[in-house]
């Protein structure tokens, strides 16, 4: 079961990473008009809460392009499942362990870690849990882009201070 969950997470990340390879041109740009001033950031339409993981992965990759364009490395994307089912709980636990165990080996300085999902509350709870699970300073030099409730910026940043990561919180 763990291998299937890991494989599913890796597939979603790979699909999202593949979407980050190129820059959008004017015809496929982020705004409906196709043109936009470079200093102004376009809003990315949020997928439906019941959209599949591939759709959410693509959405998070788009958020990474928009809000972390200054990061040169490909993003590592974690789609946090909503709900309180045993399967959702197991996935969140698996994703948490993946981050905790990857700190210092997979997540090296310059990495971009993108975390988000359909339920901002579930994402917030997941991220707050990381603050106590990740060993101090093991994410130093890593940028965490949290796509959730943008009003939680200070709270989430404070919870993740000990990780050493640079925190960016953006609204869905």
pLDDT in tens, 45-72: 999 988 998 999 999 999 999 888 888 7
Can you list the alpha helix ranges (DSSP code H) found in the chain? 2-18, 53-67, 86-102, 120-133, 153-159
CA atoms of 126 and 148, how far apart (whole Å): 11
At residue 122, the 3 state secondary structure works out as: helix
Look over the chain and give the mean of its residue pLDDT values, rounded to a whole number. 77
Most distant pair of Cα atoms in the chain: their distance: 47
pLDDT-above-90 percentage for the chain = 44
Q: What is the pLDDT of residue 155?
A: 87
The arithmetic mean of pLDDT across residues 160-169, rounded, is 92
Burial of 129 (0-12, 13-18, 19+ CB in 10 A): middle
Reported confidence tier of residue 104, pLDDT bands at 50, 70, 90: confident
Q: What is the pLDDT of residue 41?
A: 60
Q: What is the pLDDT of residue 149?
A: 80
Q: What is the pLDDT of residue 42?
A: 66
CB 32: neighbour CB atoms within 10 A?
8
The arithmetic mean of pLDDT across residues 88-109, rounded, is 88
Tell me: pLDDT of 95 over 70: yes
Q: What is the pLDDT of residue 113?
A: 94
Q: What is the pLDDT of residues 113-146, one digit of tens each?
A: 999 999 999 999 999 999 889 999 989 999 999 9
Check: CB of residue 109 under 8 Å from CB of residue 140: yes
């Amino acid at each position: 079961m763990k291998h299937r969950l890991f494989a599913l997470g890796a597939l979603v990340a790979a699909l999202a990473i593949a979407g980050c390879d190129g820059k959008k041109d004017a015809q496929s740009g982020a705004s409906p008009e196709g043109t936009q001033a470079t200093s102004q950031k376009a809003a990315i339409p949020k997928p439906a809460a019941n959209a599949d993981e591939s759709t959410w992965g693509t959405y998070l990759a788009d958020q990474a392009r928009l809000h972390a364009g200054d990061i040169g490395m490909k993003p590592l994307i974690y789609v946090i499942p909503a709900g309180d089912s045993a399967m959702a709980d197991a996935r969140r636990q698996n994703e948490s362990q993946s981050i905790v165990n990857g700190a210092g080996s997979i997540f090296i300085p310059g990495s971009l870690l993108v975390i988000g999902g359909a339920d901002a509350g579930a994402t917030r709870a997941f991220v707050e849990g990381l603050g106590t699970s990740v060993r101090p300073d093991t994410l130093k030099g890593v940028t965490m882009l949290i796509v959730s409730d943008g009003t939680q910026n200070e709270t989430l940043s404070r919870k993740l201070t000990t990780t050493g990561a640079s925190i960016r919180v953006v609204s869905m």
